[in-house]
Amino acid sequence: MGCGVYVREYSVSTNKRFEVVKITELVENTVKESGIRNGYVLVFIPHATAAVIVNEYEPNVASDYLEWIKKYVPPDYEWRHNTIDNNAHAHIASSIIGASRIFPLIDGRLVRGVWQEIMLLELDGPRRSRRIVVEVMGS
Under 8 Å between Cβ of 122 and 4: no
Min CB(97)–Zn ion separation in Å:
16
Is 87 a residue that touches Zn ion (CB under 5 A)? Answer: yes
Compute the least distance from the CB of residue 92 to Zn ion, in Å.
10
Residue 94 interacts with Zn ion (CB under 5 A): yes or no: no
| 85 near Zn ion (CB under 5 A) | yes
Burial group, residue 103, by CB count within 10 angstroms (0-12, 13-18, 19+): buried
Taking phi over 0 as left and psi of -120 to 50 as alpha, with beta for the rest, 39 belongs to left
Q: Which stretch, 4-12, 30-38, 84-92, 94-102, contacts Zn ion (CB under 5 A)?
A: 84-92
**Among residues 33, 40, 34, 62, which one has the least CA distance to residue 120?**
62
| In contact, 103 and 110? CB cutoff 8 Å | yes
User: Which residue stretch of 27-35, 53-61, 85-93, 106-114 sits at the interface with Zn ion (rule: CB under 5 A)?
Assistant: 85-93
User: In this chain, which stretch among 58-66, 86-94, 103-111, 113-121 interacts with Zn ion, using CB under 5 A?
Assistant: 86-94
Q: Least separation, in Å, of the C-beta of 63 and Zn ion?
A: 24
CB of 53 to Zn ion, least distance (A): 20
Q: Phi first, then psi: what are they for 28, rounded to 5°?
A: -70, -35
The binding site for Zn ion (CB under 5 A) comprises 85, 87
